[in-house]
Every structure is written in structure tokens, then in C-alpha cells.
Structure 1
């Protein structure tokens, strides 16, 4: 299996994604899939949500492959040739969401999500035990995003914001005067939050909102 990135920028983008995945979980695996001139990387975080980022490139042969995040990171950082060997295959046990069937729900200011994540991190530090933050905190609904057509709202739990913060997905571009926004999308059974540097994807869970609705 050979991984080819379009240029150094795309290599660095995939390398940054892989480094953050490995920082959150040194044993994590990354699923790589190619199509239409792009490579989409998937990983599961310790918060039990998926994170993903797409870069320009191709796989040869063009079939999905799973690599250890630490091995892939070393290959991207050390081997600066055009073709990169992602390393020996690793197991992948997670279900991935569908490619189609998504609908945009709304856009949320990234600064608002940053603020909610900071509040959650403060609570996590206060109440964390030997196994980390309690599940009750991670599953707490911190934001409810409602579509303009009065369709089914999307409830966003704290674990999604922890994953976005831990992966460094929130950020702004110099030309953005009003600050970056995060697109919230949903399918029948999945939710997805797309930020500037990547997306967090999770199965939808019906729960009672504990904060203001949007």
C-alpha cells in the first residue's frame, strides 16, 4: 500500500491530524479511504466519537487501509518522498457514517463552542476520577441546534466538544471578520460538526437539552 499526497501542505495537514489523534490515544488507529482525488482519514477518540479530515491525495491500490496512528505519523514526518508507506495494516472495528443522506441543520459560531468546551473542561478537572471525566458529564447535552424548517433538532453532547477541542479543529482564517463558524449536519442516525480543521461525527442520541436552544 502506498500513500501519495498532492503536496507538502496536504502532507502537513494529514500529519497534524495524525499527531493529534496519537496525542489523545497512543494506540489509536487511522482508517484511510480514497476517492475523487482525496484521502479521507478517520479515527476514534477516547471520547467515543469519530474525527475525520480530508486531504488531496491518493492510495495505491485505491482501497481502504487502516494504519497505527504512531506508525503513520513517523512515516509522514520522516519519509519526505512523494510516496509514503503507511505501515502494516491495523484492525478497524468502528462503523463509519454514510457518504450521502446528510442535511445541513445550522451554523454555530466556533467561539460559542470554544466557550462551552472550556466550561466543560473546568467541570471535568473538578469531577474527574481515576478513569477520567464521568460519563454523565460527557453525555450532558450542552447545545441544541434546530433546523430552520422546524425539523428534528440535533443535540450536541459535551464529548463532541471535548473531541473538537482536543483535536484543535476550531480556528479562524485571516479574512474572517465575524469569526469562524461550525456547520452542523445530520442524517437519520448521525450528527456531524464540520470546523475549519476537521470534523467530529457521532451517532445521534435522543436526550433532554440542558442549555439554551439555537
Structure 2
């Protein structure tokens, strides 16, 4: 008589790092999913997720997942907190967003303190506009939020004179700050601006945020994408 099949394990060994990433995700959206993608030849796994304001975030942790799988972030966090090594129920059908290309190029470094200042100024502007309106006129909270997130927070010009300026949206700034990718508030350091095809990324010490280039977000309607 053959025994019952053993459920695969999640394979994650960097429990503290993965837990910190997942805890912030579920704070923004308890129903969100996380995609686990093993990094070839590295014994590590890249965790991917989409934030409610249309930015992709990723952090690489120790341990190798059993494959390219998507699960509930809340369920995986619970497994890690209880030292349960089993992989939660797969939710692959819920991943609907493309990922940026693997190959990317570095453009510039932006000080962590400057990114925190930009994020806080944006939050203050949102609070003020919500309370007092814009130009004396009341504006819906969602309209305000979307306009603020689409705002170009930083423009970086590559050293190569032929290169186009790279626009870093407030979506990316909010992602690296609110996901804790810059480290402690009093930490120095910087985030690296990278470009991968039609994507712009901000790479912090503890994770990376990616978003489509600002002009594409402005002209392309939102739609579901197949898993790639």
C-alpha cells in the first residue's frame, strides 16, 4: 500500500527576511498574493508582489521554493510564524501581471534621506488637499491619490549624453519607503535607479520596486496580463 503524497514545502530559510516582506504586504492588503521564483544556482528565492498602487516589489531570501508558485501572502506568513514548512495552497491563477526583464542597467543613485523626504512631503500634500481641497475646490480622495502617485518625483539624467532622462514616479518612492526597503529611518545609504526595457526600478538595501515608465502608465488602460 502506498502512502499519501507529501505536500511540498515552501523551502524558505530566510524566515525573518521573508516575514518582514510579507508582514508589510498584508498590512496594505490582507488578500494579496505573493509569487515565489527560485533563483537559478543561488539557493535563494525571489518573492514578488503587487502593491495596491500599481508597483511591483521584490525581495530575495535564502532557501529555494519548490518552483515558480503563487500563494496567499497571509497564508505564507502564518506558515512562517508557526514554523510550518508546508507550502500553502497554490493560487497561481491569481497572478496576472508581467514582470520586468531580468537584464537591467544602472542609471544613478538617489540618497535614502532624499527619498524619505519626498515620500513624507507627498503624504503631507495628500492630507492637506483632502482637508482643504485644491484651489478651494473639493477633490475626491482617490483622484488625489492617483494624481499624486503619477507625479514624477525624481528625474535622473544618465551619464551617457545620448541617454534619455529617466523619470521616477511617486509610486516607486512610496513603494521603497513603505515596504522598508531603505532600512532604518536614521540609516544613510542610497537606492539605485535602474532601467529594464519599459520598466524603471528603485533598488534599496532590502528590496526593489518596479513600475512601468510614467508615460506608459498615463496612456495605457489597465488590464489583466497573463503570467510570464
TM range (shorter): 0.7 to 0.9
Q: CA deviation at 1:13?
A: 0.2
RMSD, aligned CA: 2.0
Find runs of 4+ consecutive structure 1 residues off by over 6 angstroms: none
Which residue number corresponds to residue 204 of structure 1? 213
Tell me the number of residue pairs that the alignment of Structure 1 and Structure 2 aligns. Answer: 195
Matches of residues 1-214 of structure 1 in structure 2 within 5 Å?
1-6=8-13, 10-35=14-39, 36=41, 37-60=43-66, 63-78=67-82, 80=83, 84-90=85-91, 91-100=94-103, 102-128=104-130, 129-131=140-142, 133-150=144-161, 151-171=163-183, 179-206=188-215
Classify 1:132/1:25 alpha carbon distance in 2 versus 1 (closer, same or farther; 3 Å).
farther
- Give the unaligned 5+ runs of structure 1: 208-214
For 2:115, what is the secondary structure of its paired residue? Answer: helix
CA-CA distance at 1:153 after TM superposition: 1.8
Displacement of 1:132 = 7.5
Q: Which has the larger radius of gyration?
A: 2
Question: Higher helix proportion, which one?
Answer: 2
Question: More strand by proportion, 1 or 2?
Answer: 1
Which deviates more from structure 2 when the two are superposed, residues 67-76 or residues 127-136? 127-136
Q: Match for residue 136 of structure 2?
A: none
* TM-score, normalisation: structure 1: 0.84
Q: Tell me, what secondary structure is at the counterpart of 1:22?
A: helix
What is the CA-CA distance between 1:152 and the residue it aligns to? 1.6
Q: TM-score, normalised by structure 2?
A: 0.80
CA drift of 1:98 comes to 1.4
